[in-house]
Structure 1
Amino acid sequence: MTLNRNQIIMLGVSLIVLLVIAAGAGYYFANGGQHGESSAGTQDGSGKEVLYYYDPMFPQQQFDKPGKSPFMDMQLVPKYAGEDSGEESPGVSIDPAIVQNLGIRTAEATVGRIESSLAVTGTIEFNERDVAIVEARSGGFVQRTYNRAPSDLVSAGAPIADVLVPDWGGAQAEYIALARSGNTEFANAAKARMRLLGMPDSLIRRVVRTGKPHSVYTISTPISGAIQSLNVRQGMTLMQGQPLAEVNGIGTVWLNAAIPEARARDVRAGQSAIAQLQSFPGIEFTGKVIAILPTAETDSRTLTARIELANKGGRLRPGMFASVSFADASSPTILVPSEAIIETGARTLVMLSNDKGRYRPAEVRIGREGGGQTEILAGLSPGEKVIVSGQFLVDSEASLSGIKVRPIDGEQTSVPTKTKKGYQAFGRIEAIKSGTVTLSHEPVKALNWPAMTMDFKLSKPSLVRGFKKGDRIRFRFEQTGSGAVVKSISLREAKQ
């Protein structure tokens, strides 16, 4: 049968229609005969355009259709168009249901101190500032000693030796003669001469009281303590100023603690310390760091912190070993839970969370870590929220979405400001240093800060010109990526 041109065209159209109907039926039955299933580039039940579907645990893998994830036993999540548009604050948006399913938790950056965990060892030593040198006041002869020996413990006033000083006899006889003559003026001059010859006041009073010369006097220790050296023997001849003994007091002792060089910033003069010794289990000896010695031990790479301890009853003996722990001496700083920190190798990040359910990575500079908290030296402000659980998944999603990392010096917009010019507070100057000032300030309600003492940077060094420690002031400061910066200072008006 021969077909004309029109018949051929009609047959072709019929075939195309049949093919379209067959394709539609095949898609219908392939999807279970259900309507409403959306694919990439279409709309789902929410009316939003779906770009693709993904597994939150593997956000880098994209799927064209909904369904179960091939990686996890969970439904794929739609990625909607316009979620990361520039009309909203920068960040990636995640459905609240997904946030709950993934167990994402957040925490606020707060102001506080890192709990100190520094525990070291130290050795008890003599207090080298509590030393007395016993010398001969004048040349003479040792008539008697009192059986003392090095390392003996003696009390103040304990006798060391009896010394005969022949040169004192003439001066004493002269005074006695003048006193008996009734010439008070010359007698007083003779008494002053005896004192210049080195006679102790106790011996002069004895001559005045008895009216007889006494050329033998007893040398005694001026303080209580341990005899470190003893250089006097019966019958020996003494020269004026010759050292006879050295006595070291034991009322206080030094505890020299070895501080690792890497932890040197955790210890400072004036800081409290607690010592424990095996000799006295359950007893704590509290002292204070009086100095950080200026040299380091090259072999052990340690610094020496000198701690002064009260030694009631002389229980602490030089040479004893002690375990030492230090009270926290750090200044208040911004803290976040350590689990919120993301170390990439090239930089350190946290995932910020705002009240609109958007998340954005921010670069930070961290300090010490302790007690589950990490210091934030720059990059965050108090009150900003960070993700502490699930942050790696959110960071992956932000990377896929092209969300830029907020730099350390970037603006922090999540902390409400009290005024357009910053925050105002009252305080007291505790110390003035180069470029910084230490202030004890009243609570700052706008930042939820309690009353505390902390360091503030100065926008200009000239701000503190004319001020001194103890001045009560009104000051204005701003929060920046590198911390609180004082912008102005004035003396606080006296209360009426």
Structure 2
Amino acid sequence: MKKKPLLIAIGVLTLALGGFGIYQFGKSQGMAGMPMPESSSAAPAGGAPTGGLPQSVAEGEEATRRHVKSGLKAGDMDPVTGQKILYYHDPMVPGNKFDAPAKSPFMDMMLVPVYAGGEADEGKVTVSPRVQQNLGVRTAEVVEGTLSPQVSSVGSIAFNERDQVVVQARAIGYVERLHVRATLDPVRAGQPLAELYVPDWIAAQEEFLSVRRMQGTDLGVLVDGARQRMRQVGMSDALIRQVEETGKTQPRFTLTAPIGGVVVELMAREGMTVSSGATLFRINGLGTVWANAEVPESQAALLRAGAKVQAQSPAVPGTTFSGRVQAILPEVNQATRTLKARMELSNPGGRLAPGMFVSMNFMDTRPEKALLVPSEAVIQTGKRTVVMLAEDNGHFRPVEVRAGIETGGQTEIKQGLQAGQRVVSSSQFLIDSEASLRGLEARLNDVPAKKAEIEGPRNDGEGKVVAIGRDTMTIAHDAIPSLKWKAMTMDFKLPPKGLPRGMTEGDRISFTFVESKDGPPALVWVTLLASKPAPAAAASTASASGSGK
């Protein structure tokens, strides 16, 4: 008999523990059905706030209670923070916005205010100093300076075609003697090249000398005419003066080199007859030479005409030849994807010969100022160029920029930044991905407000999922007091954000919807509920049906 009270006590305790376990299980299932935000939107990196959110949920709830007491609502200015209240929301269900402070309809907590600045900074990320140190976040200042693009290339020496002359015959004659007999022979300026005999000059010279011997006045006109005829048959002024000074005909004359260099073309031979205008010699100077460099297509933008260049050749060790970029030739080698850059190099002593191999370094210090950032701070996404801008209090936000040339570890920024700002130069990819998720979440949360079919007064209800279609779902809902609807089964348009994961037919749900003028009502959001007994009205109906059988 004494054991009976003890057994009763043990039974009561067991029932109590079982009931508490069932309660906890039901509560956990209800929480699992709630749409939880992603980790990137639940809290910023390092636990710091984002945009206009309060420092913590607890502080947000305290601010909401203060707003209730003060009668504040969305659109008012919070006298404590000095910021405008945009709206209230539940951090666990951030897609729903409320105009007045109140208790959350989703969780056992107060709504949290969002102040002005939070929506304007969608995509902004806040990282605490501790997390910045752990991630190795480094920043660099946007500075204003000059660029000195440095490009290296190789090429070969060629004749400077701008330093070339052609020696021609001025009249029909005969080559009596050659002083230069082979191509590539070096010549000096004024050096004799060949001696020619021109019979046609004798008649013009005899006429001139005859007029000079005539006696009389006003013979100046005749003398000038005779002199002009000698010029017309191809005689040079030096040869005409020689005829005047000696008083003798000069049927032979000597061709001389107008410049120093090498004979690159020799078309004359002793004893041959030459016609007027025939090319006899082609001479190329060696004071300057060309260096043709093959520059990768991706580096062509770093070069421009007039840039300084220094070249070295293994044929002349220890000597540096200076010059400038003469032109970037408008032709791309399809096989190597390179452009040809033509440099003009000084060639003292003629030590650089055509065909020699040279290596070149381009040095172009540009006079104009430019905004510069470390090249490692620039993120190329394929569609845009982004840098992470570091702001005060650990805030970071992505900024789209227009980049220029890159050289020496620095990149020119043509648009998007200002001097004195700071950009992230390490771990920026982690921060950029976080910012992208923030911007995506903000855009998704704004979708309901932009959908015309879900505008209007919202109504809440509970029910059971009967069927799920492509665009609609059938719900056997309980009574809807706000619209004075009785319990019935009807179709609803699916919510813009989709259904909770794992939802199937037969699940109990809580939902918010908006009436539609055309078609079924539109669901705003849907939440799974824990399993619970059917409503009393439905249970009594089922009992009545059973008793009637």
Q: TM-score range by the shorter chain?
A: 0.5 to 0.7
Equivalent of residue 210 in structure 2, options 177, 187, 193: 177
2:302–2:405 CA contact under 8 A, matched in 1 = no
Within 1, Cα distance between the matches of 2:442 and 2:209? 96
Partner of 2:408: 371
1:124–1:253 CA contact under 8 A, matched in 2 = yes
Segments of structure 2 that go 5 or more residues without pairing to the other structure are 3-7, 21-41, 44-53, 60-110, 444-549
Which whole-Å deviations, capped at 9, do the CAs of 1:177-207 have from their partners, x for residues lacking one? 3223354432232222212111122221111
RMSD between aligned residues: 3.9
User: Where does 1:27-426 land on structure 2 (aligned, <5 Å)?
Assistant: 49=56, 86-87=116-117, 90=121, 91-100=124-133, 103-182=136-215, 183-328=219-364, 332-342=369-379, 348-395=385-432, 398=435
Within 2, Cα distance between the matches of 1:391 and 1:84? 27
Alpha-carbon offset, residue 309 of structure 1: 1.8
1:362–1:405 CA contact under 8 A, matched in 2 = no
Within 2, Cα distance between the matches of 1:300 and 1:257? 13
Within 2, Cα distance between the matches of 1:172 and 1:381? 80
Alpha-carbon offset, residue 96 of structure 1: 3.7
3-state SS in 2 of match to 1:118: strand
For structure 1, which segment, 116-125 or 391-400, has the greater mean C-alpha deviation from structure 2 after superposition?
Answer: 391-400
1:82–1:319 CA distance, 2 compared to 1 (3 A) = farther
3-state SS in 2 of match to 1:300: coil
Alpha-carbon offset, residue 49 of structure 1: 4.5
3-state SS in 2 of match to 1:278: coil
Within 1, Cα distance between the matches of 2:203 and 2:383? 88
Aligned residue type for 2:320: E
Partner of 1:429: none
2:147–2:365 CA contact under 8 A, matched in 1 = no
1:289–1:308 CA contact under 8 A, matched in 2 = yes
1:196–1:109 CA distance, 2 compared to 1 (3 A) = same
1:254–1:306 CA contact under 8 A, matched in 2 = yes
Aligned residue type for 1:279: A
Q: How many residues align?
A: 345
Partner of 1:477: none
1:127–1:83 CA distance, 2 compared to 1 (3 A) = farther
Identity percentage of aligned residues = 46
3-state SS in 1 of match to 2:389: strand
1:82–1:353 CA distance, 2 compared to 1 (3 A) = farther
Larger radius of gyration: 2
3-state SS in 1 of match to 2:150: coil
Aligned residue type for 1:375: E
Q: Which has the larger strand fraction?
A: 1
Alpha-carbon offset, residue 156 of structure 1: 1.6
Aligned residue type for 2:373: V
Alpha-carbon offset, residue 359 of structure 1: 2.2
Within 2, Cα distance between the matches of 1:405 and 1:119? 48
Partner of 1:420: none
Partner of 2:528: none
Aligned residue type for 1:112: G
1:86–1:200 CA distance, 2 compared to 1 (3 A) = same
Q: Which has the larger helix fraction?
A: 2
Provide the TM-score with structure 2 as the length reference. Answer: 0.55
Alpha-carbon offset, residue 83 of structure 1: 11
3-state SS in 1 of match to 2:393: coil
1:243–1:402 CA distance, 2 compared to 1 (3 A) = closer
Which whole-Å deviations, capped at 9, do the CAs of 1:369-408 have from their partners, x for residues lacking one? 33222333443333221222343554566567668899xx
Segments of structure 1 that go 5 or more residues without pairing to the other structure are 3-7, 21-39, 42-46, 53-80, 407-496
Alpha-carbon offset, residue 265 of structure 1: 1.7
1:297–1:94 CA distance, 2 compared to 1 (3 A) = closer
Partner of 2:504: none
1:381–1:174 CA distance, 2 compared to 1 (3 A) = same
Which whole-Å deviations, capped at 9, do the CAs of 1:36-95 have from their partners, x for residues lacking one? xxxx99xxxxx975679xxxxxxxxxxxxxxxxxxxxxxxxxxxx989854567334344
1:269–1:291 CA contact under 8 A, matched in 2 = yes
